[in-house]
A = this chain, B = another copy of it.
Protein backbone atom coordinates (compact mmCIF):
# COMPACT_ATOMS: atom_id res chain seq x y z
CA UNK A 1 0.00 0.00 0.00
CA UNK A 2 1.37 3.45 -0.93
CA UNK A 3 0.44 4.94 2.45
CA UNK A 4 3.44 7.30 2.90
CA UNK A 5 2.67 9.13 -0.34
CA UNK A 6 -1.02 9.34 0.53
CA UNK A 7 -0.16 10.81 3.93
CA UNK A 8 2.10 13.40 2.30
CA UNK A 9 -0.50 14.51 -0.24
CA UNK A 10 -3.15 14.60 2.49
CA UNK A 11 -0.95 16.84 4.63
CA UNK A 12 -0.70 19.31 1.75
CA UNK A 13 -4.48 19.32 1.40
CA UNK A 14 -4.86 19.90 5.15
CA UNK A 15 -2.30 22.70 5.12
CA UNK A 16 -4.10 24.46 2.27
CA UNK A 17 -7.38 23.98 4.12
CA UNK A 18 -5.88 25.54 7.26
CA UNK A 19 -4.74 28.61 5.31
CA UNK A 20 -8.17 29.08 3.76
CA UNK A 21 -9.89 28.51 7.12
CA UNK A 22 -7.67 31.15 8.71
CA UNK A 23 -8.65 33.71 6.09
CA UNK A 24 -12.33 32.79 6.52
CA UNK A 25 -12.01 33.20 10.30
CA UNK A 26 -10.53 36.67 9.81
CA UNK A 27 -13.41 37.64 7.52
CA UNK A 28 -15.96 36.39 10.06
CA UNK A 29 -14.25 38.24 12.90
CA UNK A 30 -13.96 41.47 10.92
CA UNK A 31 -17.70 41.32 10.22
CA UNK A 32 -18.57 40.43 13.84
CA UNK A 33 -20.07 37.07 12.85
CA UNK A 34 -19.84 34.31 15.45
CA UNK A 35 -19.53 30.89 13.77
CA UNK A 36 -20.56 27.59 15.34
CA UNK A 37 -20.08 24.20 13.69
CA UNK A 38 -21.80 20.96 14.64
CA UNK A 39 -20.32 17.50 14.19
CA UNK A 40 -21.74 14.10 15.14
CA UNK A 41 -22.65 10.62 13.91
CA UNK A 42 -25.37 10.42 11.30
CA UNK A 43 -28.73 10.70 13.05
CA UNK A 44 -27.48 12.11 16.37
CA UNK A 45 -29.92 14.99 16.04
CA UNK A 46 -27.88 17.88 14.63
CA UNK A 47 -30.65 19.13 12.33
CA UNK A 48 -33.44 18.90 14.92
CA UNK A 49 -31.36 20.71 17.54
CA UNK A 50 -30.30 23.29 15.00
CA UNK A 51 -33.86 23.96 13.82
CA UNK A 52 -34.90 24.73 17.42
CA UNK A 53 -31.78 26.81 18.03
CA UNK A 54 -32.18 28.87 14.84
CA UNK A 55 -35.84 29.55 15.63
CA UNK A 56 -35.13 30.62 19.23
CA UNK A 57 -32.21 32.86 18.32
CA UNK A 58 -34.22 34.50 15.53
CA UNK A 59 -37.16 35.09 17.89
CA UNK A 60 -34.75 36.62 20.39
CA UNK A 61 -33.61 39.12 17.78
CA UNK A 62 -30.35 37.58 16.56
CA UNK A 63 -29.59 37.59 12.84
CA UNK A 64 -28.88 33.95 12.12
CA UNK A 65 -28.06 31.78 9.10
CA UNK A 66 -26.98 28.19 8.48
CA UNK A 67 -25.00 26.02 6.09
CA UNK A 68 -25.68 22.31 6.14
CA UNK A 69 -23.56 19.52 4.66
CA UNK A 70 -24.59 16.09 3.43
CA UNK A 71 -23.31 13.67 0.82
CA UNK A 72 -26.64 13.84 -1.00
CA UNK A 73 -30.14 15.40 -0.72
CA UNK A 74 -31.31 18.88 0.20
CA UNK A 75 -33.48 17.40 3.00
CA UNK A 76 -31.75 19.16 5.86
CA UNK A 77 -31.81 22.59 4.22
CA UNK A 78 -35.55 22.11 3.70
CA UNK A 79 -35.99 21.16 7.37
CA UNK A 80 -33.89 24.09 8.61
CA UNK A 81 -35.75 26.53 6.35
CA UNK A 82 -38.78 26.03 8.64
CA UNK A 83 -36.91 28.16 11.18
CA UNK A 84 -37.31 31.07 8.71
CA UNK A 85 -33.62 31.92 8.59
CA UNK A 86 -31.42 31.81 5.47
CA UNK A 87 -30.10 28.29 4.88
CA UNK A 88 -27.89 26.79 2.19
CA UNK A 89 -27.18 23.11 1.55
CA UNK A 90 -23.72 21.85 0.64
CA UNK A 91 -23.71 18.42 -1.00
CA UNK A 92 -20.32 16.74 -0.90
CA UNK A 93 -20.88 13.75 -3.21
CA UNK A 94 -18.69 11.06 -1.69
CA UNK A 95 -16.64 13.30 0.61
CA UNK A 96 -17.13 12.51 4.31
CA UNK A 97 -16.64 16.05 5.68
CA UNK A 98 -16.93 19.73 4.82
CA UNK A 99 -13.80 21.74 4.11
CA UNK A 100 -13.07 25.47 4.18
CA UNK A 101 -13.33 25.76 0.40
CA UNK A 102 -16.86 24.32 0.38
CA UNK A 103 -17.84 26.76 3.13
CA UNK A 104 -16.35 29.71 1.28
CA UNK A 105 -18.12 28.74 -1.94
CA UNK A 106 -21.47 28.27 -0.18
CA UNK A 107 -21.17 31.75 1.37
CA UNK A 108 -20.70 33.39 -2.02
CA UNK A 109 -22.98 36.42 -2.34
CA UNK A 110 -24.05 36.49 1.32
CA UNK A 111 -23.47 39.75 3.12
CA UNK A 112 -21.67 39.06 6.40
CA UNK A 113 -22.74 42.44 7.76
CA UNK A 114 -26.33 41.13 7.94
CA UNK A 115 -25.34 38.31 10.29
CA UNK A 116 -24.69 37.85 14.00
CA UNK A 117 -24.25 34.09 14.02
CA UNK A 118 -23.66 31.44 11.38
CA UNK A 119 -24.12 27.73 12.04
CA UNK A 120 -22.36 25.10 9.96
CA UNK A 121 -23.77 21.58 10.22
CA UNK A 122 -21.11 19.13 9.06
CA UNK A 123 -21.65 15.78 7.31
CA UNK A 124 -22.68 13.10 9.83
CA UNK A 125 -19.35 11.49 10.67
CA UNK A 126 -17.33 11.04 13.86
CA UNK A 127 -13.97 10.76 12.10
CA UNK A 128 -13.37 12.78 8.93
CA UNK A 129 -14.53 16.26 10.06
CA UNK A 130 -12.01 16.38 12.90
CA UNK A 131 -9.07 17.32 10.64
CA UNK A 132 -10.75 20.17 8.77
CA UNK A 133 -10.83 23.65 10.24
CA UNK A 134 -13.84 25.54 8.80
CA UNK A 135 -12.96 28.91 10.30
CA UNK A 136 -15.49 28.44 13.10
CA UNK A 137 -15.22 29.99 16.57
CA UNK A 138 -16.84 27.09 18.35
CA UNK A 139 -17.17 23.44 17.46
CA UNK A 140 -19.93 21.38 19.11
CA UNK A 141 -19.71 17.59 19.06
CA UNK A 142 -23.11 15.96 19.53
CA UNK A 143 -23.60 12.49 20.95
CA UNK A 144 -27.05 10.94 21.29
CA UNK A 145 -27.93 8.70 24.22
CA UNK A 146 -28.97 5.98 21.76
CA UNK A 147 -25.37 5.64 20.54
CA UNK A 148 -24.05 4.41 23.87
CA UNK A 149 -21.78 5.82 26.54
CA UNK A 150 -18.42 4.79 25.09
CA UNK A 151 -18.26 6.92 21.93
CA UNK A 152 -15.83 9.50 23.42
CA UNK A 153 -13.38 6.66 24.12
CA UNK A 154 -13.76 5.22 20.63
CA UNK A 155 -13.57 8.54 18.76
CA UNK A 156 -11.16 10.58 20.90
CA UNK A 157 -9.94 12.83 18.07
CA UNK A 158 -13.32 14.36 17.30
CA UNK A 159 -13.83 15.10 21.01
CA UNK A 160 -10.37 16.63 21.22
CA UNK A 161 -10.93 18.91 18.25
CA UNK A 162 -14.33 20.09 19.52
CA UNK A 163 -14.90 22.73 22.21
CA UNK A 164 -18.16 21.60 23.74
CA UNK A 165 -19.98 18.25 23.93
CA UNK A 166 -23.77 18.07 23.66
CA UNK A 167 -25.59 14.94 24.78
CA UNK A 168 -28.80 14.75 22.73
CA UNK A 169 -32.10 12.80 22.88
CA UNK A 170 -32.08 12.86 26.68
CA UNK A 171 -35.82 12.02 26.53
CA UNK A 172 -34.78 8.51 25.41
CA UNK A 173 -32.16 8.01 28.15
CA UNK A 174 -34.39 5.78 30.30
CA UNK A 175 -35.67 3.71 27.36
CA UNK A 176 -32.12 2.87 26.27
CA UNK A 177 -30.86 2.44 29.88
CA UNK A 178 -28.27 5.14 29.28
CA UNK A 179 -25.59 5.39 31.97
CA UNK A 180 -25.20 9.15 32.29
CA UNK A 181 -22.45 9.01 34.91
CA UNK A 182 -20.39 6.73 32.69
CA UNK A 183 -20.88 8.99 29.64
CA UNK A 184 -19.87 12.06 31.64
CA UNK A 185 -16.79 10.22 32.90
CA UNK A 186 -15.84 9.14 29.38
CA UNK A 187 -16.05 12.69 28.03
CA UNK A 188 -13.89 13.94 30.90
CA UNK A 189 -11.33 11.15 30.54
CA UNK A 190 -10.83 11.95 26.85
CA UNK A 191 -10.93 15.71 27.28
CA UNK A 192 -10.65 16.86 30.89
CA UNK A 193 -12.71 19.98 31.58
CA UNK A 194 -14.82 19.74 28.43
CA UNK A 195 -18.19 21.46 28.98
CA UNK A 196 -21.12 19.06 28.50
CA UNK A 197 -24.70 20.12 27.76
CA UNK A 198 -27.47 17.55 28.18
CA UNK A 199 -30.48 18.32 26.00
CA UNK A 200 -33.62 17.01 24.37
CA UNK A 201 -34.74 18.94 21.32
CA UNK A 202 -38.03 17.05 21.56
CA UNK A 203 -38.98 18.05 25.14
CA UNK A 204 -36.90 21.25 25.25
CA UNK A 205 -34.89 19.96 28.24
CA UNK A 206 -31.56 21.78 28.56
CA UNK A 207 -32.03 24.01 25.52
CA UNK A 208 -32.24 27.25 27.56
CA UNK A 209 -28.79 26.66 29.01
CA UNK A 210 -27.30 25.92 25.57
CA UNK A 211 -28.93 29.02 24.06
CA UNK A 212 -27.77 31.22 26.93
CA UNK A 213 -24.20 30.00 26.38
CA UNK A 214 -24.40 30.81 22.65
CA UNK A 215 -25.92 34.24 23.26
CA UNK A 216 -23.23 35.17 25.76
CA UNK A 217 -20.57 34.13 23.22
CA UNK A 218 -22.19 36.23 20.48
CA UNK A 219 -22.29 39.22 22.85
CA UNK A 220 -18.58 38.83 23.61
CA UNK A 221 -17.69 38.54 19.90
CA UNK A 222 -19.62 41.65 19.07
CA UNK A 223 -18.14 43.59 21.99
CA UNK A 224 -14.64 42.61 20.84
CA UNK A 225 -15.55 43.44 17.21
CA UNK A 226 -16.76 46.90 18.28
CA UNK A 227 -13.40 47.57 19.94
CA UNK A 228 -11.43 46.75 16.78
> A13 is contacted by which of B3, B96, B157 (Cβ under 8 Å)?
B3
Whether a CB of chain B sits under 8 angstroms from the CB of A24 is no
- Contacts A127-B125, A146-B146: A151 and B101 contacting too (C-beta < 8 A)? no
- Contacting residues of chain A (71-106) with chain B, CB-CB under 8 angstroms: 71-73, 75, 94, 96, 99, 101
Contact with B along A1-26 (1 / 0, CB 8 A): 11101100110110011000000000
Q: Which residues does chain B contribute within 8 Å of A124, judged by CB atoms?
A: 41, 126, 154
- Contacts A13-B1, A157-B94: A126 and B42 contacting too (C-beta < 8 A)? yes
CA distance in complex: A127, B1 (Å) = 21
The answer to whether B6 touches A2, judged by C-beta atoms less than 8 angstroms apart, is no
Whether a CB of chain B sits under 8 angstroms from the CB of A156 is yes
The answer to whether B2 touches A96, judged by C-beta atoms less than 8 angstroms apart, is no
Q: 4 tightest A-B contacts by CB?
A: A43-B147, A96-B127, A146-B146, A41-B42
CB pairs A–B below 8 angstroms (13 shown): A1-B13, A2-B12, A2-B13, A6-B9, A9-B9, A41-B43, A42-B126, A94-B157, A96-B96, A96-B127, A96-B128, A146-B169, A172-B172
